[in-house]
Amino acid sequence: MNLLIVYYSREGSTRLIAQGLAAATGGTLRELVDSRKMEHGGMFRALRSTMVGRGTTLIDPDYSIEPDARVVIMTPVWLGRPTPAVTTFVKNAALRGTRTFVIAVGGTTGNPGAIARLAKRVTSRGALVIGHADVPGYIPDPKAVRPSDEELVAEGVHLAEAVRQAFEEPS
């Protein structure tokens, strides 16, 4: 299966989950890099963009998608929403006609709003959302125990089954 796994990750949990998913599916990883520096008010501006559904400027973005590619789009959840980097990718990528699986990585599971927003944007670009998942990354509290890198990679490996099944079902 020609699987493209596109993701943004600020702190690294989404990257590790994506790596596990890629290892288990043979998918190709594509990381989105936000040009915004998150220090000195950059995070505040990023969150303002997140709130209003605005994107950002990506560094060296690749918006190409091979015609036979199946696409997985992964975003951290910020304020119950997809991140600006992923919003920009969805706005610009050649998604029309593709089958897409969307994944939200949050401090907890239970982020239906982020999934619904992302799915709506992907659908409005002419793609078909064939499945979704909602998985835990880092709890945004310095006192919380963080899952280990190995645990996050294992989460990605575990996700592979749901992704594979969704793409195998006729749509």
Ligand X SMILES: Cc1cc2nc3c(=O)[nH]c(=O)nc-3n(C[C@H](O)[C@H](O)[C@H](O)COP(=O)(O)O)c2cc1C
Kindly tell me which of 71 and 74 has the beta carbon lying closer to ligand X: 74
Kindly tell me which of 9 and 56 has the beta carbon lying closer to ligand X: 9
* Nearest distance from C-beta of residue 68 to ligand X, angstroms: 28
Residue showing the smallest CB distance to ligand X in the complex: 137
* Nearest distance from C-beta of residue 90 to ligand X, angstroms: 17
Kindly tell me which of 99 and 151 has the beta carbon lying closer to ligand X: 151
What is the CB neighbour count within 10 angstroms for residue 152? Answer: 24
Site residues for ligand X per CB under 6 A: 9-14, 47, 76-80, 105-108, 111, 137-138, 140
3 state DSSP class of 99: strand
- Paired with 134 in beta bridges are 104
CB crowding 105-126: b at 16 or more within 10 Å, else e: bbbeeebeebbebbbebbeebe
* Nearest distance from C-beta of residue 67 to ligand X, angstroms: 29
Give the gyration radius of the chain's Cα atoms: 15
